[in-house]
Structure 1
């Protein structure tokens, strides 16, 4: 690919780029999006063809990037290549011609057909001064086709800001990942107690995600629902086994005990200020509410029921009906479709039911992939 030469940026242009990207990075909490912004900022500031943000994977003793213009994730052993050298020594590196430097690993060029010429690599540090990754820009796009000391100063400036911002985002991501792990584990514990399988909560999660997107929810919000929907029956951990797994018909008193799992689940989760656990509390309490107001525990009606509860209700019932258990056969799809048509506007939100029918092929594919193995 022929490179198009550009003019060096004026001070005014540089300030505009810096202010634009620092504002975007400061307001972002998702790691991958921050990495994209960092890469774009570096590329624009020093007029490179590509810019890569490398991070350290201490568990696997590797360096990796999920953001590299023009390529997918790359992983290399820690300490190897130019980026490994920069991170290990803490020193920035400028190379005018990569193929004349023994530290350059040309394997990726051979795989992609891309020709690397000039390279600049700048490590970045967290608030404690520890190196946590590096910028690496490739191929200068000006008539002077190599990186200069001015480029080093500019990319070092970007690295100084971005490294400290990245640390807070990584800590936030670690908290979110921990919440997700706790939610997933607790969801499976709840199902095990009620003789369900781990795949039940996985299927409900995937169904909920598909339905949320079909209803116009953005990807980030749909991902929240996918993460928390496995907690819908967590309150069952407090229901006595004799009632929870009773083989015969429940008495009115026993049924009231079963229904209490919604309130119990809400009580377990409602105190958290974390977004995921707060969302899980909503799902736990509201997934048995009905559109016509005849559900439980609060008899909520219509759009008073949170959209998370309305979606999870459809996902949960669909899976309960379509899955085979020792105490019942799976319903044929025709019978399930008939029930949802009948309960549209009664048990279920009409819009969610309509989304269910539109996405039924995708839901059936999920069911097939996550089938229970007895």
Structure 2
């Protein structure tokens, strides 16, 4: 890590030329405009600010009005941070709407006052040592302050920011504040869609006396497998949001079949199988990309690689990759959980079955990636265990 930072410092010891500055601006504004994921929008913004002013670190802080906090989920060198809205110099900049420019933080009266007052600073939270510092508030389209840029420690030989750096970071803040409003609106819409999809998915599971954590686990398993297969993060996110709907068709299955503790008759099994077509028919006419993916998952998650699944008897790559991924995620969670008709299987027994069914029930490549991702999958299983869920429910 230290070697990487040393190389980075060496590479960035000079201020950018006008041509380099334009390239950075054009590159990052294009990335931000085309990005849907809020975390990655924020990271692009932080990277753009850092490169423009040749800083060691750049953080994009957002104002949470409801909690009266400033927070950053994406920052160079740290994980998520939250501080009271008036804390530190970032809080001061947001409160006053004025930029802050400091050459030597620990020899600056204003900064030392923040430390001596006991107010939280990012240095205290992270153990990082700030020298040069700039904080630039940014505003939304209505002119309201919604957060700020914080650039820390100049990497040139002078090790101090210039008036031109402040102009550049102000430019980045002006663009970012307005772009962020659009990105947050898109994120809010997608989070609402996700919440609705999870809720609808839970309805199907609750009817069969299973927990909502089943759909959460299947969603997370599907995401991990998709990423392991080399899918883009965007497509993996789509599958993660869509997979909770895999059993939505169960809402139309009679209780006598759905909740039967013993083995189903042939006729009852045909009724149970119909949940794939019911789910597909519920979702197939949507023009929303998440619900289109959910229609595929609902339709195909019981197809088998060898062509002996249902409802269509698709084989091999005739089965959409979403269906192939959700199939193994769903079976893993179903076998590892207590159900009305069986006790949970031990992990070794499940893994042995997957090895036997590699190339039969399951896509061989998906099985291989599942095995590679198993440590992370087990972490998810523990995080969203039914025991934890049940422990939160009062008797």
Shorter-chain TM-score: which interval? Answer: 0.7 to 0.9
- Find out whether 1:192 has 2:206 as its counterpart: yes
Describe the shift of the 1:81–1:218 C-alpha distance in structure 2 as closer, same or farther (beyond 3 A).
same
Whether 1:83 and 2:123 are equivalent positions in the alignment is no
Deviation at 1:285? Answer: 1.0
Aligned partner of 1:204 in structure 2 is 218
Contact 1:95 1:101 in 2 (8 A): no
2:28 is matched with: 21
Matched residues in 2 for 1:253 and 1:301: separation? 24
- Bigger drift between 157-166 and 345-354 goes to 345-354
Structure 2 residues without counterparts, runs of 5 or longer: 116-120, 391-395
Q: Which residue of 2 aligns with 1:125?
A: 139
Question: Which of residues 275, 286, 290 is equivalent to 1:276?
Answer: 290
Q: How does 1:142-153 map to 2 (within 5 A)?
A: 142=156, 145-153=159-167
Change (3 A) 1:220 1:247: same
Determine if contact 1:179/1:277 at 8 Å carries over to the other structure: no
- Give the aligned partner of residue 315 of structure 2: 301
Structure 1 stretch 35-44 or stretch 353-362: which is displaced more?
353-362
CA displacement at 1:143 relative to structure 2: 5.5
Please, what TM-score do these two structures have when normalized by structure 1? 0.87
Distance 2:25 2:346 in 1: 59
| Number of the residue aligned with 2:175 | 161
| CA offsets 1:138-194 (integer angstroms, 9 cap, x no match) | 233445554343222222111111221222111111122222222222222211101
- Indicate how the Cα distance of structure 1 residues 211 and 17 shifts in structure 2: closer, same or farther if over 3 A, else same: closer
Residues 12 and 190 of structure 1: CA distance in aligned 2, closer, same or farther (over 3 Å)? same
1:44 paired with 2:44, answer no
* Residue correspondence of structure 1 range 79-118 to structure 2 within 5 A: 79-99=86-106, 100-102=108-110, 105-106=114-115, 107-110=121-124, 112-118=126-132
The counterpart of 2:241, out of the listed 216, 227, 230, is 227
Q: Which consecutive residues of structure 1, in runs of 5 or more, have no partner in the other structure?
A: none
Cα drift, residue 129 of structure 1: 2.1
In 2 relative to 1, CA 139–200 (structure 1 residues): closer, same or farther, beyond 3 Å?
Answer: closer
Distance 1:364 1:311 in 2: 16
Indicate the residue corresponding to 1:135 in structure 2: 149
What is the 5 A alignment of 1:257-276?
257-276=271-290
**Structure 1 residue 284, shift from structure 2 partner:** 0.9
Give the CA deviation at 1:117: 3.1
Shift of 1:222: 3.2
> What is the aligned-residue RMSD (CA, Å)?
3.0
Question: Given the superposition, is the C-alpha separation of residues 357 and 115 from structure 1 closer, same or farther in structure 2, using an over 3 Å criterion?
Answer: closer
Q: CA, structure 1 residues 12+355, in 2 after alignment: closer, same or farther (shift >3 Å)? A: closer
Quick check: 1:170 aligned with 2:177?
A: no
Q: Deviation digits for residues 225-280 of structure 1, max 9, x if unmatched?
A: 33332221111112222332234454444333322211221222233333322222
Q: Provide the TM-score with structure 2 as the length reference.
A: 0.83
Question: In 1, are the aligned partners of 2:133 and 2:151 still within 8 Å (CA)?
Answer: yes
